[in-house]
Amino acid sequence: MSEPASWQLPLWQSLLPLGRSEETGGYRRYSFTRADTECRDWFRREAERRSLRVETDQNSNLWAWWDPSDEPEGEVGAIVTGSHLDSVPDGGPFDGPLGVVSAFVAIDLLAEAGQVPVRPVGVVAFTEEEGGRFGVSCLGSRLLTGAIAPERARELTDADGVDLAAAMTQAGLDPDAVGADPQRMAGIDAFIELHVEQGSALADMDAAIGVAESIWPHGRWRIDFTGRADHAGTTKLTDRRDPMLPFAATALAARTVATELGARATFGKVRAEPGAANAISSVVHAWLDARAPDEDTLKEMVSQITAVAELSGKGHGVSVTSRCESLTPIVEFDLDFRDRVVTALARRGIDAPVLPTGAGHDAGILAAVLPTAMLFVRNPSGVSHSPAEHAEPEDCEAGVVALAGVLEELACR
């Protein structure tokens, strides 16, 4: 990462080393691990440094509050901003943290300018946004809003078979308390998430900042191909029931179908059992990530891909089962709130184009219950979920200025 603007530097310097792999330079900040605890401690320290009130909610999301000094007039809820601190395996430095760092720095800018909040301003860091450990994305915000049942969440397991309940207990948290928190939600009027763009639309438009229009519907499907383990040297090709072959056909078909439908389909995680180099696999577990501009196209794409899996499985004597692990419908961000954000930016001379995105975010989950908006910061290469993810310091700065402008308009005097 190149040097961020000087007034953001201390935050980045203290956050960047946490959970970074020496080997790859990528981040491995999985929920309830040591790296996660270090990130949480960082959040608390930065909040306390700013005299913000810190709390951890029942779903282990972190909140820092900039409270108004006077009792607000009438019924006004909080304006909340923030993002997440967890990462995908070997993720980049900005996906998530940019929104949290920018939130703290935006509050600094406002405080330095003598602004006073007339309603609470919250900074949030949601738990397990990436689903990097337990497989369900946006787990913290889904629990908070009741979009996932607590009993289902508690039973989610990581790659080592540790379930969420055990991981939380080990981290000193109470898994029995997880679940919808309507009282907390009722105290919030709107949420705005700043995020690095996970694509290159802004770079193509020559714009530093953008405002989200919608999030494509998307989901994850697990497909299991079950064949028969056997010797790689002595088993005749014709006698094999090799699950790797229908899996390979399915991965290729996913690309073809996605191209035809103008959508995205990816097999990014595959596990072969027993996983020996000199044996035919008994089972291949594969995870399909599918996204499309609308729900009908998404459904059509997944059904075409799973049809290829089944047909190809039959041809190889391999049984195929598939199930949806998570599905997020299309999110259209609140039009009125978006207009207020765009207007606040325009008043400050910031031109921010409106664009759709294929990436899921906590803002997408909160949009079901709150007016929600997103600001994107230009990503020159569009690369994300990789150590190569990047944003220029000037663009990060533009993001903070934009966020501060929106917060000033919505929550300050």
Q: Does residue 197 touch Zn ion according to CB under 5 A?
A: no
Q: Can you spell out the DSSP letters for 214-282? A: EE--EEEEEEEEE---EETTTS-GGG---THHHHHHHHHHHHHHHHHHT-EEEEEEEEEES--TTEE-S
Provide the minimum distance between the beta carbon of 1 and Zn ion in the complex, in angstroms, as a whole number.
16
Question: Please, which residue, 364 or 371, has the CB nearer to Zn ion?
Answer: 364
**Which residues have CB under 8 Å from 10's CB, separation 6+?**
none
Provide the minimum distance between the beta carbon of 227 and Zn ion in the complex, in angstroms, as a whole number.
36
Question: Please, which residue, 94 or 221, has the CB nearer to Zn ion?
Answer: 94
First to last CA, the chain: 36
Size, binding site for Zn ion by CB under 5 A: 2
Phi, then psi, of 302 in degrees rounded to 5 = -65, -35
Provide the minimum distance between the beta carbon of 195 and Zn ion in the complex, in angstroms, as a whole number.
6
Token code pair at residue 180? 């919808």
> Which residue, 120, 210, 213, is CA-closest to 402?
210
Question: Please, which residue, 211 or 308, has the CB nearer to Zn ion?
Answer: 211
Question: Please, which residue, 302 or 359, has the CB nearer to Zn ion?
Answer: 359
How many C-beta neighbours within 10 Å does residue 275 have?
11
Provide the minimum distance between the beta carbon of 359 and Zn ion in the complex, in angstroms, as a whole number.
7
Provide the minimum distance between the beta carbon of 161 and Zn ion in the complex, in angstroms, as a whole number.
26
Provide the minimum distance between the beta carbon of 144 and Zn ion in the complex, in angstroms, as a whole number.
16
Provide the minimum distance between the beta carbon of 259 and Zn ion in the complex, in angstroms, as a whole number.
26
Provide the minimum distance between the beta carbon of 83 and Zn ion in the complex, in angstroms, as a whole number.
6
How many C-beta neighbours within 10 Å does residue 386 have?
16
> Which residue, 198, 171, 166, is CA-closest to 35?
171
- Of residues 8-27, those binding Zn ion (CB under 5 A): none
Phi, then psi, of 55 in degrees rounded to 5 = -150, 155
Question: Please, which residue, 84 or 184, has the CB nearer to Zn ion?
Answer: 84
How far lies 363's CA from each of 115, 140, 142, in Å? 26, 12, 10
Q: Rounded to an integer, what distance in angstroms lies between the CA atom of residue 344 and that of residue 79?
A: 15
Question: Please, which residue, 192 or 283, has the CB nearer to Zn ion?
Answer: 192
Place of tokens 């946490």: 18
Provide the minimum distance between the beta carbon of 260 and Zn ion in the complex, in angstroms, as a whole number.
29
- Of residues 72-101, those binding Zn ion (CB under 5 A): 95-96
Q: Rounded to an integer, what distance in angstroms lies between the CA atom of residue 107 and that of residue 326?
A: 35
Question: Please, which residue, 95 or 224, has the CB nearer to Zn ion?
Answer: 95
Please give the single-letter amino acid code of residue 368.
A
Token code pair at residue 82? 């923030």
Q: Can you spell out the DSSP letters for 330-348? A: -EE--HHHHHHHHHHHHHT
Q: Rounded to an integer, what distance in angstroms lies between the CA atom of residue 252 and that of residue 127?
A: 34
Give the DSSP H/E element, type plus range, for residue 400. helix 393-411
> Which residue, 68, 86, 85, is CA-closest to 77?
68
Provide the minimum distance between the beta carbon of 96 and Zn ion in the complex, in angstroms, as a whole number.
4
Provide the minimum distance between the beta carbon of 361 and Zn ion in the complex, in angstroms, as a whole number.
6
Binding mask 250-289 for Zn ion (x = CB under 5 A): ----------------------------------------
**CB burial class (10 A; 0-12, 13-18, 19+) of residue 333?**
buried
Question: Please, which residue, 36 or 189, has the CB nearer to Zn ion?
Answer: 36
Question: Please, which residue, 100 or 309, has the CB nearer to Zn ion?
Answer: 100
Cis preceding-peptide flag for 274 (omega within 30 of 0): yes
Question: Please, which residue, 96 or 210, has the CB nearer to Zn ion?
Answer: 96
Question: Please, which residue, 95 or 181, has the CB nearer to Zn ion?
Answer: 95
Three-state SS for 85? coil
Interacting residue ranges for Zn ion, rule: CB under 5 A: 95-96
